[in-house]
Amino acid sequence: MNNTNCIIAIVAIALSSCSDKKETTDNISTPSKNNGIASVIVNTEPKDAQAIYKTRKTAVVGDVITVHGKVMGRIDPFVPGRAIMVLGDPQTITSCDLIPDDVCETPWDVCCDDPDTIKDSTLTIQVVDTDGNLIKSGFKGVANIKELSQLVVKGVVAEGSNKDNLLLNATAVFVKP
């Protein structure tokens, strides 16, 4: 099973376990049922963003967290047709475009880093509607988001998250210039 299929399988399990639940956390904007991904794109950077690597050690289901990172960590960090992407921690993993003389065609896959470090330094971002259903449109291209984009994301740690996969229901996505 390749990495993309693993992500899809994990997300499917996570979504099936929480599809009937609604977020009740105060001060969290929930995407409108019809606005999709665009409803969580913000023009002001969320405050107090933390490194993914550190956040993964303490985050539990229901926590509101804010992280910063780059779209990286897999050969295909986006799930086509679904509001899911992988965000990596540039403090602990390195995209190949930053490695001198590296000619990797997919520098966002961080293939030179240790697989366990990659797992500990990434999380899955998703956008769900007001009923908790995954938005059926892809992240890639929305607000110019692409591989290696730097983002700050605020959201709620989703049901189904575990030590191997931190799943974040995004409520605000800021694309760094």
DSSP per-residue string spanning 59-123: --TT-EEEEEEEE-SSSS-B-TTSSEEEEE-TTTS--GGGSTT---S-GGG-TTS-HHHHHHTEE
CA atoms within 13 A on the CB side of 84: 25
Q: How far apart, in whole angstroms, are the C-alpha atoms of residue 71 and residue 170?
A: 14
Residue 87 structure tokens: 């965000």
User: Quick one: pLDDT at residue 163?
Assistant: 86
Q: Which residue has the tokens 């694309």?
A: 175
Contact 153, 37 (CB under 8 A): no
Q: How far apart, in whole angstroms, are the C-alpha atoms of residue 118 and residue 105?
A: 19
* pTM (2 d.p.): 0.80
Dihedral sign for Cα atoms in the order 116, 120, 124, 125: negative
User: Quick one: pLDDT at residue 35?
Assistant: 57
User: Quick one: pLDDT at residue 116?
Assistant: 95
Each residue's pLDDT tens digit in the chain (177 positions)?
Answer: 444 444 444 444 333 333 333 333 333 334 434 458 999 999 999 999 999 999 999 999 999 999 999 999 999 999 999 999 999 999 999 999 998 888 889 999 999 899 999 999 999 999 999 999 999 999 999 999 999 999 999 999 999 999 889 999 999 999 999
User: Quick one: pLDDT at residue 69?
Assistant: 98
Tell me the CATH class for 3-18+35-175. mainly beta
